[in-house]
Amino acid sequence: MQTARNVDAAYPRMVELRRAFHREPELAFEEARTARAIMAELDRLGIPHEYGGVGGGVVGRLAGAATGPTVALRAEMDALPGKETTGLPFASIHPERVHACGHDAHMAMVLGAAALLAAAPPPGKVLFVFQPAEERGGGSRVILRSGALVGARAIFGGHVTHHYRVGEIMAVPGVITAQSDRFLVKIQGKGGHGARPHEAVDAAVVAGVLITAIQTLVSREINPVYPSVVTIGKVQAGTAANVIAEEATLEGTIRTTRADVRAHLHHGMQRMGRAIADLHNARVTVHITEGYPPVMNSPREAEIAQRAARRVVGEAGLAAMDYPSMGAEDFAFYLHELPGCYVRFGARIKEDEYIPLHSPAFDVNEEVLKVGAAFFEQVTREALAEYARGG
């Protein structure tokens, strides 16, 4: 693997930072200790920064030249609720919080890139963006509202994954992740005694019918070549074994990559809710809340990212993407405001072992920190050079 400049020398510090972040995870909009650690590292590197306070982001500013374009690099600070089962010596000290999505690695990568760029400043300006609340709350919008990215020409970000091996970087144009929407279905029936169902309207039965019916929206109404998912993740009904449930609720997520498919699924949810309510003499209301939009890499920035990836991992390390992820990412909000590219870094620990993101057992091969830092440094230099040449 080809690496950029002094990434090997920076590696021990990146490992140290990553493990410290991993040991003390913080949830969305609560990243106070994490922000302090990031600011301390930026101070050590001599990089000025600004902080929006608890619930806000940290933005470091490296001015390699008085004039010239500005490029932003982004990492996320928040962790997930849940337990950790990795058994690592630096596992989370908080039993209900865990860095199971790799944000600890992302922060270490961007700080590693900051060290590399500060040691040999590029002919332009670099923003090191550490945002809150990617997992919940769309913390990228906090950064955008702060005005920190005003004047930036592009933004680059990335994510570790076990879908690829260490030394592989996926950088492609177009749709990378899905649109995410959430839904809440409320069912109002008529409660009664379990021994006399004819006197009641069983909300639990209505919920069961609706759960089954909703599954046909994707399987029977959407073209199979268009990726789409409807998942019901939470069901609540009933108060006792011998009481017919008067109310029930269903909560879930809709994931799509096309606007027409998304509209069809939204209308289909409402249609089925009305039809099943009429069928069972119940009242059904369907509430759909818009989530994160799709991540759509801009063509020019994807090409810049590919050039940077080739310099770091070679042609053989440039991975393809067979289909978009049905996950969601609030990096999408940045890409609605300015061009950019979101890549994926292979981080599998064992050749034959795949552990999904958000698993309590998720961990990364720490060699990926070298790859990420080298990529972020190189993509910054490639982008600044191209914008300076081409306007």
Tell me the pLDDT of the chain (391 aa) as tens digits: 444 558 999 999 999 999 999 999 999 999 999 999 999 999 999 999 999 999 999 999 999 877 889 999 999 999 999 999 999 999 999 999 999 999 999 999 999 999 999 999 999 999 999 999 999 889 999 999 999 999 999 999 999 999 999 999 999 999 999 999 999 999 999 999 999 999 999 999 999 999 999 999 999 999 999 999 999 999 999 999 999 999 999 999 999 999 999 999 999 999 999 999 999 999 999 999 999 999 999 999 999 999 999 999 999 999 998 888 999 999 999 999 999 999 999 999 998 889 999 999 999 999 999 999 999 999 999 999 999 987 6
* Fold category of 179-290 in CATH: Alpha-Beta Plaits (3.30.70)
Q: Which H or E run contains 252?
A: strand 247-256
* Cβ proximity of 68 and 44 under 8 Å: no
76 catalytically annotated: no
Ligand-binding site membership of 159 (annotated):
yes
Token pair 């590399």: residue: 116
Any idea where the domains of the chain sit in the sequence? 7-177+295-390, 179-290
Which residues, 6+ apart, have CB-to-CB distance to 316 below 8 Å?
none
pLDDT of 391 reads 62
Topology agreement, domain 7-177+295-390 and domain 179-290: no
Question: Which of helix, strand or coil describes residue 119?
Answer: helix
Name the active-site residue from 31, 41, 84, 134: 134
pLDDT of 4 reads 52
134 catalytically annotated: yes
Which residues, 6+ apart, have CB-to-CB distance to 300 below 8 Å?
339, 386
Burial class (CB in 10 A: 0-12, 13-18, 19+), 321: middle
CA distance 105 to 372: 9
What are residue 291's DSSP bridge partners?
A: none
Ligand-binding site membership of 22 (annotated):
no
Ligand-binding site membership of 103 (annotated):
yes
Burial class (CB in 10 A: 0-12, 13-18, 19+), 350: exposed
Cα 68 off chain centre by? 30
pLDDT of 1 reads 44
Class for the domain spanning 7-177+295-390: alpha beta
pLDDT of 5 reads 56
Q: Using alpha carbons only, what angle is made at residue 94 by residues 93 and 100, rounded to the nearest 5 degrees?
A: 90
pLDDT of 300 reads 98
Number of neighbouring beta carbons within 10 Å of residue 315: 8
Ligand-binding site membership of 24 (annotated):
no
Name the active-site residue from 41, 78, 168, 363: 78
Ligand-binding site membership of 341 (annotated):
no
